[in-house]
Structure 1
Amino acid sequence: MENLGKWKKPILILSDAVLINLAYILAIYFRYNYTNFKFYATDYKDIALIVTVIYIACFFIFKLYESLWSYASIDEFMLVIGACLVSNLATIAFIRIIGHSFAYGVSIIACAFSIIFIVGIRMSFRIYGRFESIVNCNASKITKARVMIIGAGAAAAMVIKEMKSSSQSKYMPVAVIDDEAYKKGKNIMGVKVLGSRRDIPAIASEKSIETILIAIPTIDEVDKKQILEICKKTNCKIEIIPGMYEIINGKVSLNQIRKVEIEDLLGRSPVQLDMAGIASYIHDKTILVTGGGGSIGSELCRQILKFEPKQLIIFDIYENNAYDLQMELKYKYPKLDLKVLIGSVRDKARLKSVFEKYSPNIVFHAAAHKHVPLMEESPMEAIKNNVFGTYNVAECAHKFNVERFVMISTDKAVNPTNVMGATKRMCEMIIQSMDKISETHFVAVRFGNVLGSNGSVIPLFKKQIERGGPITLTNKYITRFFMTIPEAAQLVLQSGAYAQGGEIFVLDMGQPVKIYDLAWDLIKLSGFVPNKDIKIEITGLRPGEKLYEELMMSEEGLANTKHEKIFVGRPTFSDLGEMKENMKELAVVIESDDVGLLIKKIEEIVPTYKRNMDESAITKIQE
């Protein structure tokens, strides 16, 4: 095979030479009939070598010998036609220049024959490749999944073509679905369009479909969600090709196919940002992100870099995450002025040295302990890291004249039932009171759960499914707000552009989602039957866990901003002196290591803090 590959180009050149001359001989025959054939053929013999050289030279110019003809597309065939036309024009010009009597009409007919022959010989490579793939496929042990493809467009044609031509493909296209009525009954690369989205469950059952592939790169989020809701009625695995913005040069391949994720089911439309407004406070500025190696912090860093800051400082206690992000950003942005610093927000001296040395203009404070059950077990650590850590960073921001300080908060800070939520409410109180005495604009951005973030429920459920179940759920009626990591980071940046000082920005989280439904959907998307293949077990609410979350306290009110997904609440706390006194008392309690006393002190500082309800109260709510 290796020797054959080495001789492939010379053999192709030789065959082209033969076919070109055959084209001219046939052209003479058809033009002058058999009686005059010998005379005109002899006349052609005088220029045959030059004509052959002209054609072969043009074929080289058009790079016909550099294509992999086993995978040739319409582009390669158009090149053949172009090369033959140019060659023919050059031949006619040559004949005219030397004053030869050879008829132009013969050259035109010969050009048509040349195109047919040259395309034909190259088509044979495609036919051989297809035949070879079919033979290899039949000989291989690969079990192919029966696939229904949604969308009868160009993307569907590409993936069907690759599914059929690749011997290693794990897919066998069986049916195509499209909502355009005129396409029904038509064939896409030999696969029939059988119906619209309404027919998906019936066709999936009738054709024994195992995998449904959504092949519409331009689909919007709402339409995608509607189609997925229908697909969930089947027992098929559901996969999708990426959006067109993710596809390089508009080419779709089987390697780009991915599983449908929960994010697809949420149907959240892309965030529209005021790019100029964000750039006005980030471009050419020194930006510090505490907790920059975490889920939200790292995505904030990625989004910030789109606005070309002067310098980006990542500050994190966990070196592994910080290192991974450093490698990623250095690769993507080789000219970036990036500083990755290891340290804790609890360490006032370390923070002071960072602010002194780098003089950040903007601070995004994402460093925090956030796992509710863990913080219930270690409430002292939650206070040290979240409350005292936030105060340390905020105090440095004030002393070193930072322009804006944006803190990441949570919906768990509203009427908190757990220590983590209560500490976040205290953080909000710190930045609101600090704003009253500082030139720095201190604001907080409050949102719910972020899909895929460290410690979130989705990765846990996926691991449980991989182990064969069961999925463990604390309560069948528990609900949460969800958004994606990029969406959260983008809206945090947008909120920073609106900062005037003291606000708590609240992000539009959409409708709350039942975690039970989320678990059910994940099992279905994984190709299993809920409570049959994978069980869902209810374990009871954990300490500090709420049945549902809220985004605003009643006294805060809610006002619109310029952005449809961002709202703002009124400041509700402004006494820094009182907050400092509370923190002194907290420090004393922490020294005593008395958890009971600590909880009482938290209740004093955060009047809305109530330990989570008992099961009887939960039952009452459900009823």
Structure 2
Amino acid sequence: MSLLLQRAFRISRRNKRLLLLILDALILSACLVLAMVLKQGTMMAATNAASPVLLVAVPLCLITLWLMGFYHAIVRFMGLRALLTMAVGLPLASLALWGASRALGFPLSGSTLSIFALLSLLGLSISRLVVRSLYQQITMRPRIRVVIYGAGSAGVQLVNSLRQGKEFLPVAFVDDWRGMHGTIVQGLKVYSPQRLERLLERCGAERILLAMPSLPRVKRREILHSLETLKAPVQTIPAIEEMVRHGAQINEIRDVSVEDLLGREPIAARQELLQANVRDKVVMVTGAGGSIGSELCRQILRQRPRMLLLLELSEFALYAIDGELRDIATTEGLTDIEIKPLLGSVQNRQRLEGVMRSFGVQTLYHAAAYKHVPMVEYNVAEGVRNNVFGTLETALAAVAAEVETFVLVSTDKAVRPTNVMGTTKRLAELICQALARHQSGTRFCMVRFGNVLGSSGSVIPLFKRQIANGGPLTVTHPDITRFFMTIPEAAELVLQAGAMGKGGDVFVLDMGEPVKISDLARQMIRLSGLEVRSAGQPAGDIEIVFSGLRPGEKLYEEVLIGANASLTDHPRILTEQEQHWEWERLAPYLQHLREAVQANAMEQVRELLGSAPTAYQPDSPIVDLEWMSHRHPLPDATPDTAQEIAAAVDSGGETTETPKTSVISAESRRKPPMAPTLPSNAPPLAEHALGHAFIARM
């Protein structure tokens, strides 16, 4: 019967309408006979009298309702309007039937027609309700049977909430506390976690819901690890900080996130550090629409700056973060803070300086960068322009505009880099270090950390998509490891580290323990209720495929260059003293690098990147896409050019030999341009002159 009804509901709209017309014809016929029975008192007389009238009454009623649009409505969505249509149409049809019956010689009384209209209205309404009820029963998804892990107050609230809904059906509790085992809570028995596997089979439960919002993350990870072997997906209610910070509700069931697997216990932020560079100040964030930039903006807004400037190259990203921040300001009572969305590139110093001067920027967080290793390997010139010279232009604009504090958001890939992206970020650090020691108006500091969970292009959303598509999960190497940190924690530590800088400081965030990516992939598969397919488990659901390291990719990341890291007042922030170049030595190097980039001379660019104190050791050939399309050196370049420039920069003097052709002019090679010397106590005008003079040479 159920199968027959399912097929009936899947037929075409035209055929469904035909079936309804037939059903309504039968109902109207029965109603007319019943009306005449009630009037005449006997079934025989009523049937004989009704027979000729039915041939007129039924078509007349159906045509009237059709013309009024009754049969154009979808039954499962019918409401008051359909009822009104019948309430008007059936009396009109009865009135027409009264005239037709008299014309045909079978007059019907007004009372008979009134009874017929009421019975028809009732019959057609009931038929629609029955059809809609059958449709809902057939199409309604059965409730998912779940076991609640945690029989405390959160578990009780969750059970009450789920019972009011239509998606989940709680069947049992599981709790670690032995004193609860065997007791009845909200009509459900509480079991030991050791019995969970048998419990799932006996109760037919399909899912496990964690109801322990205040549980420490270390304990939560232990529980999740113990549930990996069970063939049931694990979901959770929001953590207590999600409820407090973001107003999440206890019945907002979500999948177990990577933060649940890797996140560590948050420590209380030092409020004086969070506010030092932000409170009542004009703050600017470059790359405001990116993963880190947007989180910096959210946290800065909550520290109540006087004004928040959002600089972003992507119009869509700027639109998105601007709208989100304004929503936060409205809901959290921060509407008195001015938010300025600004389109612009960090490579446009004129735009940058104009913005900083116009709004009187006091603190700048430079988060704009190209950060994906393969993309920068394929687009070396643009990576250098954005990450190196974008930082240079932004830093010089900040000096010229008398910005008080400049905080560079850096990366662990800047430590002994094997790729262009990490090298460009190390050069960005060198620029800030050099400027910090040769001017006194702007305080520069750098904050270096590893991968953040959930950032655009990271491995986590990739794994989620691959699991949703049925696999396989792609991992570049079985032994590859990475440091991970949640985006909110990283942004919070960046704000605090920036407040501790004295000038030229390199701060390193404590990233915790490195995570093996292949282990993370296995955990994500198992917690989705699936099995890893392997040689030992050929019947598994999803396979993990090792695709090989990409160009410039390292097996292990580091956050410290040397072994001289020092503790700070914050337990998760270290500081390191590292080798750097003075401004006078860095300036000509940057000019040579700019000219090599403009000439798209990739061999020279690679040599120059390695000649600075970056420890750049490329472990793969050049894969720049534009350069590879030529497959040969540019006509005006020679392989020895970059080596000569590097020697000249190292010696601070002239090159020993001048090739006849080069991407760098002969005059430049004979005497590299030197940046004007800037005294450490130079006034702002001298700083401004430095910026203009150096950029003019560049």
- For Structure 1 versus Structure 2, the TM-score category normalised by the shorter chain is 0.7 to 0.9
After TM superposition, the score normalised by the length of structure 1 is 0.73
Q: Give 1:568's aligned residue.
A: 575
Rate the CA distance shift 1:205–1:265 in 2: closer, same or farther, 3 A.
farther
- In the other structure, the counterpart of 1:179 is 176
**CA positional deviation for 1:202:** 4.8
Tell whether the 8 Å contact from 2:373 to 2:552 is kept in structure 1 after alignment. yes
What is aligned with 2:142?
143
Cα deviations by residue, 1:348-394 (Å, 9 ceiling, x for unpaired): 11112112211211010000011100110111111100000001111
Partner of 1:420: 421
Contact kept? 1:380, 1:590, Cα under 8 Å: yes
Give the conservation status (yes or no) of the 8 Å contact 1:348–1:392. yes
Give the AA of the match of 2:561: M
Does residue 301 of the first structure (1) align with residue 297 of the second (2)? yes
Aligned-residue offset at 1:335? 2.7
Structure 1 partner of 2:589: 582
Report the CA distance shift for 1:252/1:465 in structure 2 as closer, same or farther (over 3 A). closer
Whether 2:254 is the aligned partner of 1:258: answer yes
Distance 1:512 1:299 in 2: 23
* 1:540 counterpart SS class: coil
Q: Which residue of 2 aligns with 1:273?
A: 269
CA distance in 1, matches of 2:221, 2:212: 13
Question: Matches of 2:597 and 2:135 in 1, distance apart?
Answer: 71
Shift of 1:610: 0.7
After TM superposition, the structure 1 = structure 2 runs for residues 398-547 of structure 1, keeping only pairs within 5 Å, are: 398-439=399-440, 440-531=442-533, 532-547=540-555
Aligned partner of 1:161 in structure 2 is 160
- Give the aligned CA root-mean-square deviation in angstroms: 2.2
Correspondences of 1:310-389 after superposition (within 5 Å):
310-333=306-329, 334-389=335-390
The TM-score with structure 2 as length reference comes to 0.66
Name which of structure 1's ranges 278-287 and 409-418 shifts more when overlaid on structure 2: 278-287
Contact 1:505 1:567 in 2 (8 A): yes
Q: Does 1:612 align with 2:652?
A: no
Task: Indicate conservation of the 8 Å contact 1:158/1:253, yes or no.
Answer: no
- Whether the aligned pair in 1 keeps the contact of 2:479 and 2:555 (CA below 8 Å) is yes
User: Which residue identity is paired with 1:146?
Assistant: R
> Aligned partners of 2:596 and 2:374: how far apart in 1?
21
Distance 1:249 1:605 in 2: 45
Which residue, out of 224, 229, 250, partners 1:228?
224
- 1:138–1:161 CA distance, 2 compared to 1 (3 A): farther
Deviation readout 1:597-623 (Å, 9 max, x if unpaired): 111111112451111379xxxxxxxxx
Check conservation: 2:263, 2:485, Cα contact below 8 A. no
Q: CA deviation at 1:285?
A: 0.5
**Number of residue pairs matched by the alignment:** 476
- Tell me the amino acid that sits aligned with residue 599 of structure 2: S
Q: In 2, are the aligned partners of 1:224 and 1:267 still within 8 Å (CA)?
A: no
Q: CA deviation at 1:138?
A: 8.1
Deviates more, 1:532-541 or 1:411-420: 532-541
Amino acid at match of 2:224: L
SS of residue paired to 1:593? coil
How far apart are the structure 1 equivalents of 2:579 and 2:607? 22
Partner residue in 1 for 2:278: 282
In the alignment, the residues of structure 2 paired with residue 566 and residue 349 of structure 1 have an alpha-carbon distance, to the nearest angstrom, of 35
Deviations 1:41-61 (A, max 9, x none): xxxxxxxxxxxxxxxxxxxxx
Question: Counterparts of 1:390 and 1:490 in 2: how far apart (Å)?
Answer: 22
| Aligned 8 A contact 2:274 2:496 in 1 | yes
Whether contact under 8 Å (1:148, 1:211) holds in the other structure is: yes
For residue 483 of structure 1, report the CA deviation from its aligned partner: 0.5
* Contact 1:159–1:252, Cα closer than 8 Å, also in 2: no
Check the 8 A contact 2:263/2:486 in 1, yes or no.
no
SS in 2 for 1:554: coil
**SS of corresponding position for 2:142:** coil
- Structure 1 398/347 Cα, relative in aligned 2: closer, same or farther at 3 Å? same
Residue 309 of structure 1 and its aligned partner are, at CA, apart by 0.4
**In 2, Cα distance between equivalents of 1:420 and 1:253:** 41
Is contact 2:417–2:614 with CA below 8 Å preserved after alignment? no
Map Cα deviations across residues 199-238 of structure 1 (whole Å, 9 max, x no partner).
Answer: 4445445544321111112112111111111111212111
Q: Alignment identity in percent?
A: 40
Paired residue type of 1:612: D
Q: Return the alpha-carbon distance in structure 2 between the equivalents of residues 292 and 378 of structure 1.
A: 23
Change (3 A) 1:518 1:425: same
Letter of the structure 2 residue corresponding to residue 558 of structure 1 = A
Contact 1:444 1:504 in 2 (8 A): yes
SS in 2 for 1:406: strand
Query: Partner of 2:447: helix, strand, or coil?
Result: strand
For 1:150 and 1:481, how far apart are their aligned partners in 2? 30
**Contact (CA 8 Å) 2:274, 2:492: kept in 1 or not?**
no
| CA distance in 1 between partners of 2:158 and 2:188 (Å) | 12
Deviations 1:496-550 (A, max 9, x none): 1211111111111111001111111222232222222121111111100001101
Kept after mapping to 2: 8 A contact 1:204/1:234: no
1:406-434 Cα shifts (integer Å, max 9, x gaps): 10111000000000000011011111111
Q: Matched residues in 1 for 2:571 and 2:515: separation?
A: 21
| Aligned residues of 1:478 and 1:547 also touching (Cα < 8 A) | yes
1:114 is matched with: none
Task: Give the stretch that moved more between structures: 426-435 or 229-238.
Answer: 229-238
* Contact kept in structure 1, 2:227 and 2:527, CA below 8 Å: no
